[in-house]
Structures are given as C-alpha cells and as structure tokens.
Amino acid sequence: MSSIEGKTVVLGVCGGIAAYKSAELVRQLVKAGASVRVVMTRSAQEFITPLTLQTLSGHPVSTSLFDLTQESEIGHIQLADSADVVAIAPATANLVAKLAMGMADDLLTTVLLATRAPVVVAPAMNVHMYENPAVQDNLGRLRGRGIRIVDPAVGSLACGYEGPGRLPETEVLAAEIERAVSANDLEGERVVVTAGPNREHLDPVRFISNRSTGRMGFAVARAAWARGAEVTLIGGPTSLTPPHGARVIRADSAAEMHRAVRAEFKSATVLLMAAAVADYKPKKAADQKLKKGKGGRVLDLVRTVDILGDLPARRGQRIVVGFAAETEDVVANATRKLTSKKLDLMVANDVSRPDAGFEVDTNAVTLIDSEGAESLELAAKDTIADRILDRVVAIRQRRKRR
Ligand code: CTP
C-alpha cells in the first residue's frame, strides 16, 4: 500500500494559469488511492471550472465560506479536520502572502489556518514575481513554520518569460504530497538502490545486456523517498524518468556499478540491489567496430565482479537486500543466495512468469529473511516496493530492540 492510499488530500487551487494542471494532479492522486477534496479560490474559477475538478475527484468542490449549502454539507472546520495533508497547487503570490500573514478572508485561507495537517505549497507565477523579495520573504516564513515548499520548475512561462515559476510536473507534486503525508518510517535512513540492466560492450556499437527495465528498483527508490529516506539511485541504462527526490548516479557496466556501490555503501544505512547485474563481460572490448567475417564468431567471456559478494565484511547496522531472479526452484535458490551473500533480506522473483519480473508493471515475489518466507500476491511494482520497505523497517525495529 502506498503512503497516499486511503488518505484525504485537501487540494487548494488558486487563480493562476497553472490552475488547469490541477486537473491532472487530482486524477493522479485519485488513481493512487487518495480521497481528494478540492477547494478553489474565486479567481481559480476564472481559469478552470469547479465541475471539472468535481468530476475528477468524485466529490463536491468547495468554493465559498458563505455558501449555505456547502457549509452544511462539509463545513470549513470539518474540511480542515478531515485533511491528512493540505496541498496548494498552484499557489499564487497573493495566497503565499496571506498565508504568511495568517489571514483568513476566504475558504482556502481559513482551512489553512484551521488545519493541523501538514501543508505543501507549490508556488507558480511569473519569474519576476517569484524572485521578488516580498515573495521570497514570505516563502521563507512559511518554510520556517514547517510548511513544505515545492520549488517551481524552471522553463518558459505562460507570460513569455523564462526562469523559475512553472508549476512542477504532476509526478513531482504527487511525490511531495505523498512524502508529507507518509509515516516517514524511513526518516534518517540513507537508502541506496541499484536498478536496471548493465551493458557490457563488445565494441563501440554492440553490447551484451539483459531484459531488466529498472522498474522494480525505480519503484523502490520512489517509495523510499516518499517514506522520508534520503535516496541515491544507481541506475543502469533505462528509458525511465528518475523518481523525484532521488540523487541519480548512472552506471552502465557492472564495473561502473561496482565502483558506485562501493563508494555509496560507506555512508549508506540500507542497500537494495535490484539491478540485474551482468555476470559476464567480453574478455576484451574492441576499440573499433568489429567487422564481420565469413564464418561464425565465438565470444570469449569473463566473469564480472559479484557486487554484493564484494561488500565489506563489517557492515555495522547496515541492512542489505538482494533480489534473486530465478526461473526454477525459486525459493530454494533465493534462500541459498541469502546465506551465501550474507543478506538481511532476499526478494525472490520468478521471472519465468509473464506477469512478473522483467518488462511488466506487476510483480509477484517471495520475501525471505531470518524470520521466514512470505509470498506476496501479484501486485503493482509500487505496491511490492512498499512491502519490501515494510520488511526493511521491521528489520530495523528488531535491531533497535536488541
Ligand atoms: N548481484 C551482484 N553482482 C553480480 C550479480 C548479481 O551484486 N555480479 C546481485 C544482484 O543485484 C541481486 C543478487 O546479487 O541483488 C542476486 O542476483 P542473481 O543474478 O539472482 O544472482 P547471481 O549471484 O548472479 O546468481 P545466478 O545468476 O548464478 O543465479
């Protein structure tokens, strides 16, 4: 279950051109399992209609403090109390100023004063307005009060200027909202995740690789950040967009990945090796493109280093998680690797199933640790990622109790 599932998000929409993007945000939050209650300012309704957001959220949109019907259905205090998180996207300079002053002259600002829930503010405006010291001072005051400010994206703005001021992508906003609402049970952890395949080059244009897409590792990195961790993602070549919040290190070959893992392991508290590391590489990669001859060609392959096997013996309080891709005797093979690689947790994956493992969004795994084996039903990789991290949290708690 992702951190946002079952949570109530009160989404405030202000009157800026980016208001139209709130429709996509509502859709995404609802898809992730949140209950979304939209509050629109008067000027927001000049840019997008309440009907749009009402249809997408499946709940009435609140627009006025003084509307008798709205107040009797869900009053402003009830709205403030119902929120697990309040997010404002887009937030105008005017809203930021009113919030900084503690004003309550409409429904949205009143809800913001009345709520005890965490607040996320995503300012979006013209670059000169955003850079104005008054706006920056106000944002600083909000940060000082523990309000999470999502930095605007940089790019071309609707007003024709270039610079910071754009409302960030929906995925970024959703990730920030999820992190604000999560139990933060990985706060203080420095999580390193590897993901994707490796490429071992034969020559400058050809390589040996495998079917891994990186989706499982990216899902783990995304979920770990949402749960409060500091995340470094060491990724082989993939076509995926890196999850928001993670520091990304690109590592194409097993040797590059090995170097990156060794360096990052020093300061890590948790390592999850989801990458499908290449086990073999060509004995020698040609400097120039190999020309074909008449007959066949035999590849001379040598072993790459076993990255997990090469970790320092003294691991302190670090938690190390391996992923076993198997096509037969899945649990037995994975359990053997758990011991031989001195792991705290093994995620065993039957990659012979068409709906699990490589190139699909779902997975079915068995989690194996010192407490035993637990088979998880087929589920989205995002869900599986959270279940893996639940186990990591449980291992950490057991260690602390000891
Ligand atoms: N792994 C690693 N270095 C390698 C190969 C694998 O660190 N050179 C890691 C993987 O990232 C994974 C775990 O070891 O977390 C198990 O990977 P898997 O490919 O299933 O195991 P192997 O040890 O390579 O065994 P085999 O391929 O013989 O099944």
* Extents of the domains making up the chain: 8-181, 190-401
- What is the 3-state secondary structure of the chain? CCCCCCCEEEEEECCCHHHHHHHHHHHHHHHCCCEEEEEECCCHHHHCCHHHHHHHHCCCCECCCCCHHHHHHCCHHHHHHHCCEEEEEEECHHHHHHHHHCCCCCHHHHHHHHCCCCEEEEECCCHHHHHCHHHHHHHHHHHHCCCEECCCEEEECCCCCEEEEECCCHHHHHHHHHHHHCCCCCCCCEEEEEECECCEEEECCEEECCCCCCHHHHHHHHHHHHCCCEEEEEECCCCCCCCCCCEEEECCCHHHHHHHHHHHHCCCCEEEECCECCCEEECCCCCCCCCCCCCCCCCCEEECCCCCCCCCCCCCCCEEEEEEEECCCHHHHHHHHHHHCCCCEEEEEECCCCCCCCCCCEECEEEEECCEEEECCCEEHHHHHHHHHHHHHHHHHHHHHC
Contact in structure between 280 and 208 (CB atoms under 8 Å): yes
Note the CATH number of domain 8-181.
3.40.50.1950
Beta bridge partners of 367: 347, 374
- Ligand 1 midpoint to CA 306 (Å): 7
- Ligand 1 midpoint to CA 252 (Å): 16
Query: What average pLDDT does range 305-327 have in this prediction?
Result: 93
* Closest alpha carbon to 28 in 193, 170, 186: 170
Ligand 1: atom nearest CA of 278 is 8
- Ligand 1 midpoint to CA 390 (Å): 23
- Ligand 1 midpoint to CA 189 (Å): 24
Summarize pLDDT for 330-344 with one digit per residue, the tens. Answer: 999 999 999 999 999
What is the structure's pLDDT at 358? 85
What is the structure's pLDDT at 365? 94
Summarize pLDDT for 11-22 with one digit per residue, the tens. Answer: 999 999 999 999
Summarize pLDDT for 42-96 with one digit per residue, the tens. Answer: 999 999 999 999 999 999 999 988 776 777 777 889 999 999 999 999 999 999 9
Query: What average pLDDT does range 297-308 have in this prediction?
Result: 95
> Exactly one of 1, 113, 158, 159 is catalytic; which is it?
159
Query: What average pLDDT does range 278-288 have in this prediction?
Result: 96
Ligand 1: atom nearest CA of 323 is 15
359 against 307, higher pLDDT: 307
Q: What is the mean pLDDT of the chain?
A: 95
Protein residues with CB under 6 Å of any ligand 1 atom: 254, 273, 275, 277, 279, 304, 306-308, 322-325, 337
Q: Is the confidence at residue 267, as pLDDT, over 80? A: yes
Query: What average pLDDT does range 266-288 have in this prediction?
Result: 97
Res. 1 pLDDT band, cuts 50 70 90: low
Residue 159 annotated among the catalytic residues of the structure: yes
Query: What average pLDDT does range 218-243 have in this prediction?
Result: 97
- Ligand 1 midpoint to CA 149 (Å): 40
Query: What average pLDDT does range 314-331 have in this prediction?
Result: 93
| Domain 8-181 and domain 190-401 have a common topology | yes
Contact in structure between 321 and 346 (CB atoms under 8 Å): yes
Contact in structure between 349 and 324 (CB atoms under 8 Å): yes
Ligand 1: atom nearest CA of 347 is 15
Query: What average pLDDT does range 361-382 have in this prediction?
Result: 93
Q: Cα separations (Å) of 190 from 47, 228, 268, 317, 318?
A: 42, 10, 5, 12, 10
User: How many other CB atoms sit within 10 Å of the CB of residue 336?
Assistant: 13
Mutation choice for ligand 1 from 199, 261, 279, CB with most ligand atoms inside 8 A = 279
Task: Please give the structure tokens belonging to residue 125.
Answer: 């405006």
Summarize pLDDT for 135-176 with one digit per residue, the tens. Answer: 999 999 999 999 999 999 998 888 888 999 999 999 999 999
Ligand 1: atom nearest CA of 307 is 7
Note the CATH number of domain 190-401.
3.40.50.10300
